Amino acid sequence: MTRAQVLEVVGDDRDEQTLVAAIDFSRLPRHVAVIMDGNGRWARSRHLPRLEGHRAGVESVRSVVETAARLGLQALTVYAFSTENWKRPTDEVSGLMGLLKLYIRRELKTLRANNIKFGVVGGLDGLPKDVRDELRRGIHETSKLSGLQFSLALNYSGRSELTDVARRLAIEARAGTIDPMDIDEKAIERRLFTAHLPEPDLLIRTSGELRVSNFLLWQIAYAEIWVTDVLWPDFRRRHLLQAIVDFQKRERRYGGITASAGKA
C-alpha cells in the first residue's frame, strides 16, 4: 500500500496509520458482523439516561461504516435491535426507533455518496410503519450501488430466522415445489436474510460479553470471534482496524489440520 492510499483510509493519526500498514489488503475479511453492546453501561457511567448511550452509539456506527467502506470490505452487518429487545421499557424502545429513523434520514446522502448499498436483516414488517418506510426508502435509494453492503440487523433473531426457513421449506414441500430429499445446506442458505452476502469471516462484540445473543447463528459457524472491553459508544476506526489486524493473525482451519501439521 502506498502512503497516499493509507492516508485515504485513516488521515493523519499515526497509530491508525501503523494499523493500516499492518493490514494485508489481499486477505481482508469479506464480511464483518458486529454485536454493538454497552450503550447502556456507557450512559450509566456518565449518569446519563440509557438513550444517551444509544445516541452516542450512532456516532460509532458512522465511523465504522465509513472505515469499512474505505477499506473496501464487501459487507458489514451490525446488530442494532434483537427480537428480545422488545422486552425493554417502552420509552427506550421508542427512543431507539426514533434514532433509527433519524439515522437513515441524516445518513442516506453520505451512504449514497460512498457507493454504500444499505439493507436490513430481520423482520422489517414487525417495525413501526414510520421506521419501516424510512428503512425501505434507504434500501430503495441505494439498491443499485455496488460498494460496501451495509446491513442493520433489526427485529432480528437467529432462531426465528431459522424457524422461518423451516416453515417455508415445509410449505414448499407440501405444495410439491421442493423434494424433502433436496433440502441441503444451500437450500437453507438461499432462504436466509443474508442469502445475498458472503458468510461473516469476523464477528466483533463490544463491552466484553462472551456470548452471541442469537445473532446470525447459522452464518457464524466458522467466523473468527473478536471481543473487546470497549463499550460501543467508544468504538472507533482504530478498534475496527485492530480487529482486522488480529483476524489476519488467526489460522482458520475449518475442521482440517494446518498445512505444517499435515507435512509433519
Active site residues: 37, 85
Residues 242, 22, 146, CA angle at the centre, nearest 5°?
A: 75
* Interaction between residue 37 and Mg ion (CB under 5 A): yes
Q: Tell me how far apart the alpha carbons of residues 58 and 123 are, in angstroms, rounded to a whole number.
A: 21
Site string for ligand IPE, 64-93 (x = CB under 6 A): ---------------xxxx--x--------
Segment near ligand IPE (CB under 6 A); pick from 129-137, 159-167, 181-189, 208-216: 208-216
Residues 261, 243, 104, CA angle at the centre, nearest 5°?
A: 140
Supply the minimum distance, in Å, between the C-beta of residue 221 and Mg ion. 23
Q: Tell me how far apart the alpha carbons of residues 103 and 143 are, in angstroms, rounded to a whole number.
A: 18
Residue nearest to Mg ion (CB): 37
Q: Tell me how far apart the alpha carbons of residues 174 and 140 are, in angstroms, rounded to a whole number.
A: 34
Supply the minimum distance, in Å, between the C-beta of residue 37 and ligand IPE. 5
* Interaction between residue 38 and ligand IPE (CB under 6 A): yes
Residues with Cβ within 8 Å of residue 146, at least 6 apart in sequence:
115, 117
Radius of gyration of the chain (CA): 19
- Please provide the size of the chain in residues: 264
* Interaction between residue 103 and ligand IPE (CB under 6 A): no
Residue nearest to ligand IPE (CB): 40
Nearest CB to ligand IPE, comparing residues 88 and 137:
88
Nearest CB to ligand IPE, comparing residues 24 and 229:
229
Residue choice 19, 23, 32, 35 for contact with ligand IPE (CB under 6 A): 35
In terms of Cα–Cα distance, which of 24, 156, 188, 186 is closest to 78? 156
Nearest CB to ligand IPE, comparing residues 19 and 36:
36
Supply the minimum distance, in Å, between the C-beta of residue 232 and ligand IPE. 6
- Binding residues for ligand IPE (CB under 6 A): 35-41, 79-82, 85, 96, 207, 209, 211, 213, 232
